[in-house]
Amino acid sequence: MLPSPSGLRVLAVDDVPLALTELCRLLRAAPEVGEVVAADDPISALRSIQGDRFDAVFLDISMPGLDGVELASLLAKLSDPPVIVFVTAHEEHAVTAYGIGAVDYLLKPVRAERLATALTKVVRMASASGSPAAQGAVRRPDAMAVLPVETAGRTRYVRRSDVRFVEANGDYVRLHTPDGVHLVRMPISRLEEYWSDSGFLRVHRGYLVALGAIRELRSDSAGGLLAHTDLGDVPVSRRHARELREQLLHAARTGMFDGSDRGV
């Protein structure tokens, strides 16, 4: 969508009232911006986006219920997604912001000169996405490429590319990575929906596995099938065995395993 001649239409999302007010003030003072709509929670933001179109969304990462990572993933599924700029109080989240397709990130408290830099990128991206030829070149948020993990009052982010397999644990999933096992509140069926196009396959009622992480298929003592990864064996149910073999064959033919045994 090309920016309006009257300026960018921007949605600002933050659950902290003072932070949201200040961000809106700075945006309205910027010459590139024509209109600013405020949303104080992710659900309100979704309603605004469903009922209108925006050139850009300035999005807080840490919010209760549906955080900025998840909201950005939902926005990526729109036919004409807005440009995403993340706003965060934690500098270490910058890597996360770029990792899931944001054009820029702003560190709180937001400075006017830093906002101006971000808006320059937004204008460039929004203009490029207006032409069909340019749409494929625009970097868009990737669905759930990074997941937030809450541990002892701290939030860390686990990249999908580091996950070898996923294990269901009630309303949670356990992400098995080389640096440990991480618990995330999310049903495995939901994660399957987001990651099925990124090299992950449901091989059992309770397991997802990264195809690129499978080193070999083995039989267990009862004659069942196991997918062996460098972090352990993943059980494969009979009804998923054929699809797994077909997917592995396709992966081998297309070079998925060349140069790496990691998940994608």
Domain 8-135 fold is Rossmann fold (3.40.50)
Q: Which stretch of DSSP H or E encloses residue 121? A: helix 112-128
In this prediction, residue 129 carries a pLDDT of: 60
- Give the closest residue to 87 by CA, choosing from 50, 56, 65, 46: 56
In this prediction, residue 69 carries a pLDDT of: 66
Whether 255 has a pLDDT exceeding 70, the answer reads: no
Report pLDDT digits (tens) over 205-232: 999 999 999 999 999 888 889 999 999 9
Residues of each domain in the chain carrying CATH 3.40.50.2300? 8-135
Strands in the chain per DSSP E:
8-13, 33-39, 56-60, 83-88, 104-107, 146-151, 154-159, 165-169, 172-177, 180-185, 200-204, 207-210, 216-219, 225-229, 232-236
In this prediction, residue 54 carries a pLDDT of: 92
Report pLDDT digits (tens) over 184-209: 888 898 888 888 888 999 999 999 99
Whether the Cβ atoms of residue 1 and residue 53 lie closer than 8 Å to each other? yes
Whether 261 has a pLDDT exceeding 50, the answer reads: no
Top-confidence residue, 264 or 211:
211
Whether residue 42 has a cis bond before it, omega within 30° of 0: no
Question: What does the pLDDT average to over 250-261?
Answer: 60
Asked which of 59-63, 81-85, 141-145 is least confident by mean pLDDT, the reply is 141-145
Asked which of 1-10, 71-80, 181-190 is least confident by mean pLDDT, the reply is 1-10
Residues of each domain in the chain carrying CATH 2.40.50.1020? 158-253
Whether 7 has a pLDDT exceeding 80, the answer reads: yes
- Which CATH entry fits the domain spanning 158-253: 2.40.50.1020, 3.50.50.60, 3.30.930.10, 2.60.40.10? 2.40.50.1020
Top-confidence residue, 12 or 53:
12
Whether 165 has a pLDDT exceeding 90, the answer reads: yes
Tokens, residue 34: 């024509």
Task: Work out the percent of the chain whose per-residue pLDDT is above 90.
Answer: 37
Q: What angle do CA 228, 229, 232 make, to 5 degrees?
A: 80
In this prediction, residue 4 carries a pLDDT of: 54
Residue 127 corresponds to which amino acid? S
Whether 135 has a pLDDT exceeding 60, the answer reads: no
Report pLDDT digits (tens) over 116-133: 989 988 988 877 665 333
- Cα–Cα distances (Å) from 82 to 63, 107, 122, 211, in that order, read 20, 20, 9, 31
Whether 264 has a pLDDT exceeding 50, the answer reads: no
Whether 256 has a pLDDT exceeding 80, the answer reads: no
- Cα–Cα distances (Å) from 33 to 28, 29, 167, 191, 235, in that order, read 6, 8, 45, 36, 53
- Cα–Cα distances (Å) from 121 to 43, 68, 114, 115, 252, in that order, read 26, 20, 11, 10, 39
